[in-house]
A and B are shown apart, each in its own frame.
Chain A
């Protein structure tokens, strides 16, 4: 953002964006059809009559103007009271805390696969440019990036779990449980980033400073690590950071395929069950994580690329 120079402006802008998001999240109440009071009472398996609904509406303040409702809700959000799940009646934090670790585990494992996989594919392809390994990786990239995770996952389960009996079918627990979901989630992201890395490496490999490094008599390993790879890492770090968001999004589907008890599945369950407070909490949390990660990636980019750091 060129308009906003300086950290103060950045923070102010971030604040505007986050409050905008909170307004959007609050508006989810309106988007969902049906009367919240009625939904809650039905979840408690009562056949609600009009008086009960009216009573609960007054209790929840649903009859107040929306500005009042929003400021009340915002006040609670800022003090950490994110409300209770309509379905279970437990605080949403409890629900999220119960599911969070599984998603973190899956996201970290996938992230590791994305980084190592893209490095592996990108480096091999760049250094065997237009030869058989490169062509194979290119072909695999084209197919893998078009393949839906929910198909890949099913086929992996079929072959590795049912046919060969190598890995557990679904669920969470031991290390082997993690293999298929993490791979499914990571594959398409990893191959696409491998291709970006390949292009970056090929571009760098013909640069004058690489030829000069060769002329200086540096060992090929040193040239590769300090001169070629280092210059490719600055743009890659940004991409890897962005991929965390893609992985969080992808987890929604992958967790459902493998019955992985994480936030992604919780999101689907909450959305399908119209459990608005839970949906709001998840969306708000994800937006905060996403925005924070983007800021960190930005900072990291400044560190790795001295030009950006000096300019900003």
Chain B
């Protein structure tokens, strides 16, 4: 039983990793791999069904859906990864402060975390990104600001439990300097759970990123993004149902890959 789950975790990691690598590959080499220019309209080919020329059909301006999805990997995946990383860094800083900071700082930081947690993340991101104006940057900022409180709470509890471990206690008693204690004693313990959580959280951020972009908050029109492509596909649903297939599948596969990888990493613990 035990060995079986271990193998299951390995399989999950492998499957997730391969899918993710494929996506990153597509993002990096999109300009060379994509069969057509994702931005160039071809009014003679509006809403054409899938064919040998355009594998997944064309959109309302005659642009190749396949190429747009491929280029969209750069926007959607890149944007979500940036936001995820920013949220992690911000949240980790706040979380460690809330756990180990000086007394006068602990309470306000903890209260700040609870305040930010008092709103559904998606709504917080929507309000911030929306008021900053529809663009790639404001979306990334909005998602980072909506994502950090979760990280802060997570890192805070990880730090607290690491702080109580016996060898950390020994280090504290033995007079190890604070910075060294944090870097050498505490952070290494948090690495594995944080890596798993980061992977899973990035999946959520991709969903939110493309979701807000679906609502019209993403990078403005000609640039290809999965969420806004789906929004356009919804408009032309009756005439060109194929338009919604690829962007949605791309989001699903990206999130699926991250979920599998994250779950595979979860609990696999120390090397």
Contacts and interface: CB of A to CB of B under 8 A. Distances in A.
18 contacts: A21-B119, A28-B127, A31-B131, A31-B132, A147-B251, A150-B210, A150-B248, A151-B247, A158-B241, A162-B238, A249-B120, A252-B122, A252-B123, A252-B126, A267-B127, A283-B119, A286-B120, A290-B119
A287 B107 CA distance: 20
B268 interface: no
A236 to B, nearest CB: 20
Where chain B touches its partner, the secondary structure class is helix
B244 interface: yes
B130 A290 contact: no
Contacts, number: 130
A149 interface: yes
Contacts of B114: 13, 17
B233 A146 contact: no
Nearest to B259: A146
Given A17-B111, A146-B203, A158-B237, 5 more contacts: A24-B115, A148-B210, A155-B244, A249-B120, A253-B122
Where chain A touches its partner, the secondary structure class is helix
Interface residues of A, number: 47
Interface in A138-157: 142-143, 145-151, 154-155, 157
A148 B123 contact: no
B211 interface: yes
Interface string A187-212: 00000000000000000000000000
A290 B118 CA distance: 6
Contact of B118 (A142, A149, A291): A291
Contact of A274 (B112, B131, B234): B131
Interface string A4-41: 00000000010011101100100010011100000000
B154 interface: no
B101 interface: no
Which of A33, A158, A250, A253 lies at the interface centre, i.e. has the most chain B CB atoms within 10 A of its CB? A253
B68 to A, nearest CB: 16
A257 interface: yes
Interface in B209-244: 210-211, 214-216, 227, 230-231, 233-234, 237-238, 241, 244
A169 to B, nearest CB: 9
* The 9 residue pairs across chains A and B that have the minimum distance between CB atoms: A249-B120, A151-B248, A271-B130, A249-B122, A146-B255, A146-B256, A20-B115, A32-B131, A287-B118
